[in-house]
Amino acid sequence: MRGFSSDYLRRTRRGMWGDREALELARLGDAESVLDVGCGNGEFTRVLVEETDEADVVGCDFDLSHLSDVRESLGVPVVAGDARSLPFSDASFGTVACQALLVNLREPRHGVDEMARVASDRVVCVEPDNSSVCVESTVAGEPELARRSRRRYLEGSDTDPALGTDVPSLLRDAGLRDVSVTRYEQELVTEPPYDESDVTAVRRKASGESFRGRRDDMEGDEETLDSLRDDWREIGREAALQLSGKEYVRRETVPFYVVVGKK
């Protein structure tokens, strides 16, 4: 099981859903109940709570480590459950949603089938295409190193990190109709004034800690991956130097696909 720390989820969701136009076709304001599958620490659950009008929102995840935080911080019920076999009966929720869940499933089709089964009205999936992420940085080698690492990740992962563009056909195959797609670009920006998570991210880069967390998902022999880790440490050290002079700027654009299907 791929684990996601709260810190990682907070950092990687930064800048997400400042603009919510791409969620319009989900018609969250009309929903009476919403299930957020793979809710993690509740980054998307919070958006669902804010966008629905007094709907009952429920979070569900098979990783128990975040669930009590979601319950306490958002005041929503949470249920421990596996997306491949959801612990709910057919049509229990009006809308069933997920964000960055299907890219983590070996059989995303089963996840979509389950979401369609427990929804009575619509299914909303927000999934990235991690093959088209774009990185710009004031550290000269960082965009190229990010590209090289991404290639290894795409080849080594046992799930499909580029799934976003295939989600519409998964929804159609699950028998959902009127499937609509909106592309949404998340911009993750690091620039002065830095906050604590910027400083931590750069420190983890320089120490090789952030690379260690992704290494198991990468294709390559030990020597190749060691060399990639060393390159990241070097980039991290340069980023730390620029950060101390308030010169470090990094912009990462992640394309997400908001896919909505009706029962």
Residues that bind ligand SAM (CB under 6 A): 4, 9, 13, 38-40, 43-44, 61-63, 82-84, 99-101, 104-105
Shortest distance in whole angstroms from residue 192 CB to ligand SAM: 26
Q: Which is nearer to ligand SAM, 62 or 153 (CB)?
A: 62
Shortest distance in whole angstroms from residue 68 CB to ligand SAM: 14
Hey, which residues does 255 pair with through a beta bridge? 185
Shortest distance in whole angstroms from residue 50 CB to ligand SAM: 14
Shortest distance in whole angstroms from residue 129 CB to ligand SAM: 14
Q: Which residue is nearest to ligand SAM (CB)?
A: 40
One-letter amino acid at 211 equals F
Q: Which is nearer to ligand SAM, 239 or 258 (CB)?
A: 258
Q: Which is nearer to ligand SAM, 99 or 149 (CB)?
A: 99
Q: Which is nearer to ligand SAM, 70 or 235 (CB)?
A: 70
How far apart are the C-alpha atoms of 252 and 238, rounded to whole Å?
Answer: 18
How far apart are the C-alpha atoms of 205 and 225, rounded to whole Å?
Answer: 15
- The string over 65-85, giving b where at least 16 C-beta atoms fall within 10 Å of a residue's C-beta and e elsewhere, is ebbeebeeebebebeebbbee
> Hey, what are 79's tokens?
């249920």
Shortest distance in whole angstroms from residue 29 CB to ligand SAM: 20
Shortest distance in whole angstroms from residue 214 CB to ligand SAM: 13
Q: Which is nearer to ligand SAM, 133 or 139 (CB)?
A: 133
Q: Which is nearer to ligand SAM, 82 or 217 (CB)?
A: 82
